[in-house]
């Protein structure tokens, strides 16, 4: 476990990495049979530890939420609406040989497999995660700024938004056998939001490979927005012209907006957003505008009435 003040270590062992990366490409090093709840795939973990994961931005430093809470209290409706169930049920998802397709309004679509993504320099980002239900965590992620992935393709001038699509595997994801939500899970960002330096594709947390219940092998993290925007287990990233209709907007349009910026002055119909409780703590704390990341993001919303954009 990491303390809250020590900077991240560097994990550079290129020779070992290339051996592991060959194994990853062959699909042998990912967790096919993670045995227990919260268990980490040892080989995937080893591969991640062979990489470089260092802080690249100066971010607010706070007490981190303990690892055990991050991996045992999850929202992952593809498995269950219960907070504790994904830690067990998500182990059924096969994250080996995973690839993401980047396409839509681009000159040349691109397919990326996770193994070469791991070969890049990963950044360490300690972010607050604020759920619209009124709880929050502080999570040390490890990943790739999304803009570096998006810049690998040439978007056409019509592209205005990015649409993210999760995976649809009802055999493994037992929650998808019910129609509680419209599957697969869909999310979206405006192009400038997607290119904002804070927007991250996470591959790890707490110096370890991302656990399946937290969205392995890779998920979005948008720290100034409510947690439901941070889609897990992404399969597709598309440049689109129209604002995507996201899963939660479709389910309850009066409750979930497209922007969903953390905003203590705009109440959700069921939950006041003024205060929040950190998982593992008892006392409530005040929720901050943009979840405390205003300096990085408020310029994107100049001239926009934020009270209209839950
Ligand atoms: N992504 C998918 N694919 N399915 C989900 O149900 N839940 C969202 C988000 N991403 C969800 C998802 C919600 S509501 C929250 S609060 C966060 O994931 C929770 O992330 P965590 O379980 O890693 O804390």
Full-prediction pTM beyond 0.85? Answer: yes
Query: How many whole angstroms from its chain centre is CA 90?
Result: 16
Helix (H) or strand (E) holding 278: strand 275-278
Longest dimension (CA), the chain: 54
Token pair belonging to 273 = 């957003």
Say which CATH topology domain 12-301 has. Answer: Sulfite Oxidase; Chain A, domain 2 (3.90.420)
* Position 102 confidence tier, pLDDT thresholds 50, 70, 90: very high
pLDDT at 3: 30
Residue 258 has pLDDT above 60, yes or no: yes
Report the nearest atom of ligand 1 relative to the CA of 214: 23
- The string of pLDDT tens digits covering residues 20-29 is 333 333 332 2
Question: Rounded distance, CA 79 to CA 86, Å?
Answer: 6
Residue among 69, 71, 76, 225 to mutate when testing ligand 1 (max atoms within 8 A of CB): 76
Mean pLDDT of the chain: 85
Residue 11 has pLDDT above 90, yes or no: no
The domain ranges of the chain are 12-301
> Do residues 117 and 144 lie in contact, with contact meaning Cβ atoms separated by under 8 Å?
yes
Question: Rounded distance, CA 8 to CA 3, Å?
Answer: 10
Distances (CA, A) of 2 to 15, 48, 65, 154, 244: 26, 16, 11, 39, 38
Give the residue among 203, 173, 207, 149 at the shortest CA–CA distance from 89: 173
Q: For the chain, what percent of residues have pLDDT higher than 70? A: 82
Give the residue among 204, 212, 224, 233 at the shortest CA–CA distance from 124: 204
Report the nearest atom of ligand 1 relative to the CA of 77: 6
Report the nearest atom of ligand 1 relative to the CA of 233: 3
> Ligand 1 centre and the CA of 89: distance in Å?
14
- The string of pLDDT tens digits covering residues 44-91 is 556 656 566 888 999 989 999 999 999 999 999 999 999 999 999 999
In DSSP notation, 208-221 reads EEPPGGGTTT-EEE
- The string of pLDDT tens digits covering residues 210-248 is 999 999 999 999 999 999 999 999 999 999 999 999 999
Check residues 50 and 130 and name the one with the higher pLDDT: 130
Rounded (10°) angle between helices 14-25 and 42-49: 140
- Name which residue sits closest to atom 8 of ligand 1, judged by CA: 228
Which residue reads 């002055």 in tokens? 265
Residue 6 has pLDDT above 80, yes or no: no
Residue 269: CB atoms within 10 A of its CB come to 9
Ligand 1 contacts (CB < 6 A) are: 74-78, 129, 131, 166, 185, 214-215, 227-228, 230-233
pLDDT at 215: 98
pLDDT at 273: 95
Question: Rounded distance, CA 300 to CA 59, Å?
Answer: 19
Question: Rounded distance, CA 48 to CA 56, Å?
Answer: 18
Token pair belonging to 207 = 């110096």
Question: Rounded distance, CA 123 to CA 2, Å?
Answer: 16
Which residue reads 């080996």 in tokens? 96
Q: Where are the alpha helices (DSSP H) in 166-275?
A: 191-195, 247-251
The listed range with the strongest mean pLDDT (105-109, 112-116, 304-308) is 105-109
Helix (H) or strand (E) holding 100: strand 99-104
> Ligand 1 centre and the CA of 218: distance in Å?
12
Say which residues have a Cβ less than 8 Å from residue 15's Cβ, sequence separation at least 6. none
């Amino acid at each position: 476990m990491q303390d809250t003040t020590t900077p991240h270590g560097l994990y550079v062992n290129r020779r070992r990495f290339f051996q592991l990366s060959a194994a990853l490409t062959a699909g042998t090093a990912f967790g096919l049979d993670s045995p227990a709840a919260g268990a980490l795939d040892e080989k995937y973990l080893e591969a991640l530890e062979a990489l470089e994961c260092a802080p690249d931005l100066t971010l607010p430093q706070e007490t981190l939420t303990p690892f055990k809470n991050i991996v045992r209290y999850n929202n992952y409706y593809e498995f269950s609406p219960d907070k504790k169930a994904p830690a067990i049920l998500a182990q059924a998802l096969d994250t080996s040989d995973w690839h993401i397709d980047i396409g839509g309004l681009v000159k040349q679509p691109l397919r990326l497999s996770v193994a070469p993504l791991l070969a890049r320099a990963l950044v360490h980002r300690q972010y607050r995660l604020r759920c619209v239900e009124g709880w929050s965590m502080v999570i040390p992620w490890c990943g790739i700024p999304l803009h570096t992935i998006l810049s690998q393709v040439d978007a056409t001038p019509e592209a205005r938004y990015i649409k993210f699509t999760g995976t649809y595997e009802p055999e493994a994801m037992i929650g998808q056998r019910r129609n509680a939500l419209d599957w697969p899970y869909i999310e979206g960002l405006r192009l400038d939001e997607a290119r904002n330096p804070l927007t991250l594709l996470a591959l790890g947390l707490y110096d370890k490979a991302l656990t399946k219940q937290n969205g392995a092998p890779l998920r979005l993290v948008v720290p100034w927005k409510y947690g439901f925007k941070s889609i897990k287990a992404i399969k597709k990233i598309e440049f689109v012209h129209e604002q995507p209709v996201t899963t939660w907007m479709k389910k309850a349009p009066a409750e979930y907006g497209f922007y969903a910026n953390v905003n203590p002055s705009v109440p959700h119909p069921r939950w006041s957003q003024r205060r929040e409780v950190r998982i593992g703590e008892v006392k409530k704390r005040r929720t901050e505008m943009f979840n405390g990341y205003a300096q990085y993001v408020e310029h994107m919303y100049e001239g926009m009435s934020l009270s209209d954009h839950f």
